[in-house]
């Protein structure tokens, strides 16, 4: 019986210790203030250099649109260099839609708000994450 009580105390204390551990990484809050309609939602992706415009994001989030604003939070982001892209999924099909000529049908934006003709470039969108939480604004 003592052994069972000891195991139970150890098991419960391990949960308490885990609950008190500090989360690793920082929080990045991203706001898009100029969404043109309340239809659908805005999808966000956090990328590193190896995944930007090539693969699934390291973290992905989506936001409803309230009063023309979409807002999400990426949690536990480690120190490093990242970029964020987002698009307004007006029709709710969970992907960005393109015209036959390759032009996007839906509005999009990237971190640092550097928009040029052609696809977004890593060098224009990248930013550094250190030890401080970040608040970013992306315009579409």
- The residue extents of the domains of the chain are 24-137
Q: What is the mean pLDDT of residues 51-59?
A: 96
- Report d(CA 83, CA 61) in Å as an integer: 14
Q: What is the mean pLDDT of residues 1-17?
A: 43
Tell me the pLDDT of the chain averaged across its residues.
88
Query: Which pLDDT tens digit goes with each residue over 64-77?
Result: 999 999 999 999 99
Q: What is the mean pLDDT of residues 50-77?
A: 97
pLDDT over 90 at 14, yes or no = no
Comparing 1-15, 26-40, 101-115, the range with the smallest average pLDDT is 1-15
Structure token pair of residue 106: 């839906």
pLDDT over 60 at 91, yes or no = yes
The answer to whether 111 and 48 are in contact (CB under 8 A) is no
CATH number for the domain formed by residue range(s) 24-137:
2.60.40
Decide: helix, strand or coil at residue 94.
coil
Decide: helix, strand or coil at residue 56.
coil
Structure token pair of residue 126: 């990248």
Query: Which pLDDT tens digit goes with each residue over 112-128?
Result: 999 878 889 999 999 99
């Amino acid at each position: 019986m003592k052994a069972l009580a000891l195991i139970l105390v150890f098991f419960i204390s391990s949960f308490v210790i885990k609950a008190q551990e500090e989360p690793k990484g920082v929080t990045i809050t991203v706001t898009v203030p100029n969404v043109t309609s309340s239809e659908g939602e805005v999808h966000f992706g956090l990328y590193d250099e190896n995944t930007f415009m090539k693969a699934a994001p390291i973290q992905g989030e989506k936001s409803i649109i309230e009063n023309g604003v979409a807002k999400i939070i990426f949690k536990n982001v480690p120190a490093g260099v990242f970029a964020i892209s987002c698009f307004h999924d007006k029709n709710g099909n969970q992907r960005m839609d393109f015209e036959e000529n390759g032009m996007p049908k839906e509005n999009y934006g990237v971190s640092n708000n550097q928009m040029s003709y052609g696809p977004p470039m890593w060098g224009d969108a990248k930013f550094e994450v250190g030890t401080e939480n970040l608040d970013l604004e992306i315009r579409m």
